[in-house]
Every structure is written in C-alpha cells, then in structure tokens.
Amino acid sequence: MKKLRISRWEGRLEQFEDLIAEEGLLLVNIGPGPEPELSFSAAITPEQVKSFVFGYLLSEGLIQGKDDVREYHEYGEQLREIPGEVIHVDLRLRELPKDEVPWQRDYNIIWSECGGGSSSSGGGGWSSEGFGSSLRLEAQEPHPLISGEELIQIPVKIAGEIEGFKRTGAYHYAFLFDPELNLKAKAKDIGRHNAVDKVIGEELLGEGRFAERLLFTTGRITADIVLKCLRAGIPLIASRGAALWRAVVLARRYNLGVVGFLRGRRFNIYSGEGWIEL
C-alpha cells in the first residue's frame, strides 16, 4: 500500500493522506530451455510473487507439482514509462504440456479485474459447450470435511485478516483452511483470481495437502475459480458472494463443493453437499 494525498468532498472539500492499493506488472517467460516458448503477464499486488507463479502454473494445468519447475529466477525493476514495479520471472520447466494448454486465449495479459489466465501462444478459447471438457479429471467422492456450524465461523475468523481491504477497499482475499479451521495460507491481491493462485502456490510450496483444504474467497465464484480448485485438488470452495451458473455446472460435473453467500448464520450450497456435515 502507498500513501497519497487526495481530496474528498463531503459537503466541503478536504485534503488528507489516504492509503492506495499498489499494482505491479509481472512478466513471466516459460520454457524447458533458456529460450522462452510461452509467456504471460499479470497485473498483481507485488507480494507473494513466487507463490502466485507456482499457484498459477498448477491451477492452469502447466505443472502437476512443484518439482516440475527446474529453475526459478525473479528480479524487479522500475521503469519510467510504467508506474510501479515491474517484476520479471524466468522459468524452466521439466517439459511443456504436449497438448494444447486449456487456458490459452487470444490475448496475453491477466487483468486485475478478472484475473483470467492467458498465454502469448494464442489459440484455444473456451466454448460454452466444451467448457472444462479438456480436463483429465475424475469426479470426487464427497465425504464430510466440515460441519455447517464450523463453516459459518469462517467470516468471523477472517475478520481480523482483511486489514488491507478495510484500509483501501481495493483488495480481494483468499484463505485456505484445514478441516479444524486452522488457517494454512492467506493472500491478498487486486485480482480475486490472483489471490486464489497465491494461496494455491503457498500450499504447493508448503505441505501440499490440497485434499484436506477448504478455500474461502472474498470474490464471487466463477468457472475460472472452480477450474483452479479442480486442478489443484481442493474439494470445497466457499465465498461470501455469489456463484455463477457455469461455475456450478462445472462443479457438479466433478462433485466439487461450492458454497455461496456465506454470511451470518446462513449459506447456499450449489454443489457437493456431501462435503458438509449438516
């Protein structure tokens, strides 16, 4: 966060210092050798960068585990033409996916507003009929992971963990909990997808016990977020916001637990009711 002097009008004009969320530009080059074969860029909050990169690679299908990354090099620079920090990451993977990467788009930047993954190699795209059809996943068998009474405690538990949002109103947050509601990873970012990638990366670089984790996000649950959970192996996702139609259809196909509008003592279950003891 950065301090900036601004003006505010509430019946009369006043000037004061306010905290502003910081946005940085991440440039990532990927290849099995020294010359990159894939690249992407992202507007992110410039912290937990390595966790974001690893989480993004896993949740977008480029790697299956952290050992698939042979080398990771990160360096930053300040450019006059672009405000804020520019972070460069050069990666060497053991091998690139042989099939077309499911997240390929016709553009190559992850915008902070939506955070959808993209690649400069082009092609692909998601059709409404074939969405998720390229995933090589099997439907999970739900079993109770957490009770409904425990689930409604999550908003209370994170109340003291979202200081950046309270001070700027600009950040999304993501959290990973174990079945006992111990907080295992947390991240904030200007993009909700980026925050999810960061906690996935934190878990990947740490214990890697995704099957025992519940993801809570402050953003709405979209199909992109569902795909990230499916690829990482996270069985249950919850949000204080809404779940979108395509996200629910995809989640039901693979028995992913989806909970929305988790507020107060109520929540909606859109998919995977068996993950919750009611």
Residue 240 placed within a domain: yes
Q: According to the model, what pLDDT value does residue 116 have?
A: 44
Residue 59 placed within a domain: no
Residue 33 placed within a domain: no
CATH of the domain at 186: 3.40.140.10
Q: According to the model, what pLDDT value does residue 8 have?
A: 67
Global pTM reads 0.83
Q: According to the model, what pLDDT value does residue 110 have?
A: 46
Q: According to the model, what pLDDT value does residue 7 have?
A: 63
The domain total for the chain is 1
- For 166, the domain range is 146-277
Alpha carbon distance 103, 193 (integer Å) = 13
Mean pLDDT, the chain cut into blocks of 10 residues (278 residues total): 72 79 86 83 90 94 93 78 74 79 44 44 37 65 94 93 80 95 95 95 97 95 93 96 92 94 92 93
For residue 12, CA distances in Å to 8, 34, 225 come to 8, 59, 43
Q: According to the model, what pLDDT value does residue 103 have?
A: 45
Q: According to the model, what pLDDT value does residue 167 have?
A: 77
